[in-house]
């Protein structure tokens, strides 16, 4: 059974910093990995989707990488802004069920 | 342009009183999912539909049921809500399941916050 872990659980950084969020998964036979953003009391917004055949995806200030052999994905946020404050979740789809398994997320605060 | 719509956004129900949450989508996606999310926890999959094919998670309580009358709509019925069922309920869609198609992305609705009194 796939297990997804996100470390750290919470992160507070000053505005302008580059930062990395980590996502680890136990079953390396994944189909894809998706990163989401969740604002308090809201639904999830998709940020980036990485297929198993890909190594990374980029969107604006966001870059997500995937290393299946080590069971890791990272989300890199460049030049962080207060508006980036949210919880970031990753989800790995693997196994016969094809259904994504979510991590608990990293709660990010970017202070001015 | 809302793609996955959930109604209501906030629902208050009494202990044991049946409640129905609704989800609709304008994406014409094959797959619809229902998740339960409690504070600071990962979304927990309750069930999903692939077209009309219903798939229940093994640990989803019998108290939770779902209906998908057509492609666009999916309902979550909680037959006898308990205090432990208070949570955010998230509906999501995807065009297909990963492994069956190269392009797969989940789209989520804004969620329904359920309070049980």
For A26-84, the pLDDT digits (tens) are 998 888 999 999 999 889 999 999 988 899 999 999 999 999 999 999 999 999 999 99
Q: Which residues contact B16 (CB under 8 A, 6 or more apart)?
A: B80, B81, B82
Rounded to whole angstroms, the Cα distance separating A28 from B96 reads: 21
Q: Does A32 touch chain B (CB under 8 A)?
A: yes
How far A98 CA lies from chain B's nearest CA (Å)? Answer: 6
Q: What is the pLDDT of residues B7-24, one digit of tens each?
A: 999 999 999 999 999 999
* B66, B50 Cβ separation under 8 angstroms: no
pLDDT score recorded for residue B103:
57
Q: Per-residue pLDDT for B101 more than 60?
A: no
Q: Does A103 touch chain B (CB under 8 A)?
A: yes
Q: What is the pLDDT of residues B32-87, one digit of tens each?
A: 999 999 988 999 999 999 999 999 988 999 999 999 999 999 999 999 999 999 99
Q: Comparing C-alpha atoms, which of B99, B97, B31 is closest to residue A29?
A: B99
- Which residue of A51, A91, A104 is in closest CB contact with B40? A104
Confidence tier at A97 by pLDDT (50, 70, 90): low
The greatest distance separating any two alpha carbons of chain B, rounded to the nearest whole angstrom, comes to 45
Rounded to whole angstroms, the Cα distance separating B106 from B98 reads: 10
Angle formed at CA A100 by CA A95 and CA B80, multiple of 5 degrees: 115
């Amino acid at each position: 059974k796939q297990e997804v872990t996100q470390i750290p659980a919470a992160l507070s950084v000053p505005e302008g910093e580059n930062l990395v969020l980590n996502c680890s998964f136990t079953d390396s036979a994944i189909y894809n990995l998706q990163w989401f953003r969740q604002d308090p009391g809201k639904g999830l917004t998709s940020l980036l989707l990485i297929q198993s055949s890909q190594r990374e995806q980029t969107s604006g200030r966001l870059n997500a990488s995937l290393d299946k052999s080590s069971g890791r994905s990272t989300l890199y946020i460049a030049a962080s802004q207060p508006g980036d404050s949210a919880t970031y979740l990753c989800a790995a789809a693997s196994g016969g069920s094809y259904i994504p398994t979510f991590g608990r997320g990293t709660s990010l605060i970017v202070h001015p | 342009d809302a793609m996955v719509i959930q109604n209501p956004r906030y629902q208050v129900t009494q202990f044991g009183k049946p409640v129905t949450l609704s989800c609709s989508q304008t994406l014409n996606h094959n797959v619809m999912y229902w998740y339960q999310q409690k504070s600071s926890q990962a979304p927990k999959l309750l069930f999903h539909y692939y077209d009309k094919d219903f798939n229940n998670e093994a640990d989803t309580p019998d108290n939770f049921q779902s209906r998908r009358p057509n492609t666009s709509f999916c309902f979550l019925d909680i037959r006898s809500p308990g205090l432990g069922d208070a949570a955010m309920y998230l509906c999501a869609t995807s065009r297909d399941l990963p492994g069956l198609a190269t392009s797969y992305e989940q789209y989520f609705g804004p969620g329904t916050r359920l309070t049980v009194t």
